[in-house]
Amino acid sequence: MTTPSPSRHGATAEAATPSPSSASTTPDHAAPSAALSTPDPHRWKALGVLAAGLALIVIDGSIVAVSLPTIISDLSLDLTDAQWVTTSYAVVLSALLLIAGRLGDRLGRRRLLIAGVGVFVLASVLAALSSSGGTLIAARLLQGVGGAAILPSTLSSVNATFRGRERAAAFGVWGAVMAGAAALGPLLGGWLTSSFSWPWIFAVNVPVGIAVIAGALAWVRESREEGDAGRTADGRTVDDGTADGGASSRLAARRGLDLLGAVLSAGALGLLVFGIIEATTLGWWGEQAPLALGGRELHGPAGLSLAPLVLAAGLLLLLAFVLWERRRGARGQAVLLDLDLFRLPAFAWGNVTAGAVAVGEFGLLFVLPLYLVDVQGLGALQSGGVLAAMAGGAFLSGTLARHLAAAIGAPGTVLVGLGLEVVGVGVLALVLAPASPVLLLIGILVVYGLGLGLASAQLTSTVLAPVPPEQSGQGSATQSTVRQLGTALGTAVSGALLAAGLSARTDDLTGQAAGFGQQLTDSAGSILPALRGQGMAPGVIDQLELVFTDGARIAMAGAAGFLLLGLVGALAVRRAAQGAATVPSGD
């Protein structure tokens, strides 16, 4: 390698400075490989395509939220089924992202992106045609497979396509799309459900997916981490900061894929989420109901619920995964998750923050639409309009995030954003009532959305900042995995808290309302519109609405708690980033 120290440090610094403030201090000549390549002339069109691919899967993670009450009613789902409709997508995403990131590095990120979009479009067609909860959940699982191929491909392609200040801007766009698309999903879902029908929330993915495939073929440059790392499929040089790492990339290519690691990680994540969701039905300790599987009923030993056993099995598989990855790493073999990355404090704490924030954000996104539709009596479009307040705040602050980051740094911007999110959800949990003014809710959600845009736009760059560019694919996949695991856990935890709150309060129901307590829990509140339509006595409706609102407040308080945990993690990220900035790079 020529001039190894300047090249390695310079390339790392450049790749790791997506915030404008730090990028401006890193000259382009810091990486000698930059002189050997020319910028991709189609890079901004490619960014648009990558952003569209990202929006496709992020919107699909949240578009179901407002439509879920309608889906519950049409397909006769219970609370557990409703959780799985939302969570199954995120579970598969989180379980497969690590192996997908490695496949993208090996086989080509554009190639994996196109394949992922193809699978995603097919699954969307199947979801739109679903006539039962089981077929819809299966289609959502397949959507997760496609999404797992798309997500790491978009982020690592951005990292491989842009340099210096442009890379900072590209990361800002990527983060803003992540935040804005998630917040925009409910509005789009509400419009499609009310104007057409709920299957259209999936059918709309078809033309968008076809456009993304066409755009990728036309403008997205291929990049990979193989023997020809740093080159496109047609032999052109790509400056992704890995030009000096070709030898190590060729060695990595010969070490093979970590298939057992993929099985262990997927099994661990799947069992953990399964245990949390099914515990609301099976029981958290003592058995409340058997597990129905393949027409058979499975019971736990000695009256014990199967849920804690499933959770324990998930933790054991997670431990086995960590030990396996450490063993392979010690032998110099390719690993699915490079545990050495977690020795970088900003990366480690950044992932804690990303995971906790995702739990809080998607926990809110699961329970709030149920409250708006079932308690407030709003339609799908109206509920989407209320939740659009988050999108408005996120888009506004997402555009301002770069300027704020230039003044106080990316970690500081994340802190401000998370602070606003904690305040927004905390106040919402305090003021929520059966007849809360809708304008009050919108105002609170705008504040929350402002924080969402600031935090999301800069959190990605902050987490990936210390990661060496030759590991950008794995770093991106790790961060995305943590986010998606948080998404799955957010729905699971929020649903569990909602069920626990409803169960605790149903004992307070009196008279005719007492007979509907279990149905209120099982139907995730969808029994309320049905009872109103039947002309049920107002006194009965008032009791049930109050019980459901209290359950929703408990779930939102839990979401606020996870966001607060994310804020604590962000403080640690800022300290780590400040410490790294004071350490001379020394050649």
CA angle 389, 49, 38 (to 5 degrees): 130
DSSP 291: E
pLDDT at 358 over 60: yes
> Which amino acid type is present at position 252?
A
Is 268 in the same domain as 243?
Answer: no
The enclosing H or E element of 297 equals strand 296-298
What are the pLDDT digits (tens) for 153-185?
887 788 788 887 787 788 778 777 876 677 678
Q: Is 586 contained in some domain? A: no
Q: Is residue 33 part of a domain?
A: no
Q: Please report the pLDDT score of residue 577 as a whole number.
A: 76
pLDDT of residue 225: 67
User: Does residue 73 lie within any of the structural domains?
Assistant: yes
Which residues face 293 on adjacent strands? 296
The domain in which residue 247 lies consists of 4-25+39-257+334-581
Listed residues 317, 333, 349: the one ending a domain: 333
Can you say whether residue 40 is alpha, beta or left, with left for phi > 0 and alpha for psi between -120 and 50 degrees?
beta
State pTM to two decimals: 0.77
Q: What is the pLDDT of residue 316?
A: 97
Instruction: Judge whether 587 lies within some domain.
Output: no
Nearest to 69 by CA among 360, 379, 279: 379
Is residue 32 one of the residues assigned to a domain?
A: no
Q: Is residue 31 over pLDDT 50? A: no
SS3 assignment, position 41: coil
Q: Final residue of a domain: which of 299, 315, 333?
A: 333
| 214 and 125 in a common domain | yes
Q: Where are the alpha helices (DSSP H) in 409-437?
A: 410-431
Between the CA of residue 367 and those of 87, 530, 553, what are the distances in Å?
Answer: 13, 19, 9
Asked if the model's pLDDT at residue 533 lies above 70, the reply is: yes
Of 440, 401, 423, 378, nearest to 186 by C-alpha is 378
Does residue 415 sit within a domain?
yes
Both 221 and 271 in a single domain?
no
Q: Residue 441: its pLDDT value, please?
A: 94
Overall domain count for the chain: 2
Residue scoring higher pLDDT (422 or 387): 422
Q: Is 239 helix (H, G, I), strand (E, B) or coil?
A: coil
How far apart CA 491 and CA 529 sit, in angstroms, is 23
pLDDT bracket for residue 308 (50, 70, 90): very high
Percentage of the chain exceeding pLDDT 70: 85
Helices (H) and strands (E) in the chain, counts: 21, 2
328, 341: one domain: no
Mean pLDDT taken over the chain: 81
- Residue 370's domain is classified under what CATH number? 1.20.1250.20
Q: Do 464 and 443 belong together in one domain?
A: yes
275/370 same-domain check: no
pLDDT above 60 for 27: no
Do 327 and 247 have their domain in common? no
- Residue where a domain terminates, one of 312, 333, 354: 333
- Same domain? For 430 and 574 the reply is yes
**pLDDT above 60 (res 30):** no
pLDDT at position 445: 93
Per-residue pLDDT, 211: 96
Residues in the chain: 587
Mean pLDDT, residues 351-358 = 90
Residue 212: both structure tokens together: 């993304």
Q: Out of 293-297, 412-416, 520-524, which region has the weakest mean confidence (pLDDT)?
A: 293-297
- The DSSP code for 373 is I
> How many whole angstroms separate alpha carbon 370 and alpha carbon 66?
8
Q: What is the dihedral of CA 199, 134, 59, 372, to 10 degrees?
A: 80
Render pLDDT for 428-440 as a digit per residue (tens, 0 to 9).
Answer: 999 999 999 999 9
**Do 249 and 317 belong to one domain?**
no
Is 406:458 a contact under the CB 8 Å cutoff?
Answer: no
Rounded Cα gap, residues 401 and 409, in angstroms: 10
Residue 433 lies in a domain: yes
φ and ψ at 344, to 5 degrees?
A: -85, 110
Backbone angles phi, psi at 231, to 5 degrees: -125, 150
pLDDT score recorded for residue 554: 94
- Answer whether residue 30 is part of any domain: no
Q: Which residues contact 38 (CB under 8 A, 6 or more apart)?
A: none
Q: Comparing 63-77, 334-348, 433-447, which segment has the lowest mean pLDDT?
A: 334-348
Same domain, 307 and 328: yes
Q: How confident is the model at residue 61 (pLDDT cuts 50, 70, 90)?
A: confident
pLDDT for 179 = 66
Which comes out higher in pLDDT, residue 9 or 563?
A: 563
Q: Is there a contact between 275 and 314 (Cβ–Cβ < 8 Å)?
A: yes
Q: Is the confidence at residue 236, as pLDDT, over 60? A: no
Please say if the pLDDT value at position 32 is more than 70. no
pLDDT at 34: 37
User: Given this model, what pLDDT does residue 580 score?
Assistant: 64
Same domain, yes or no, for 218 and 301? no
Q: Are residues 151 and 65 in the same domain?
A: yes
pLDDT tens figures, 258-267: 888 888 988 8
- Residue 237's φ and ψ, nearest 5 degrees, are -80, 135
Rg (CA), the chain: 24
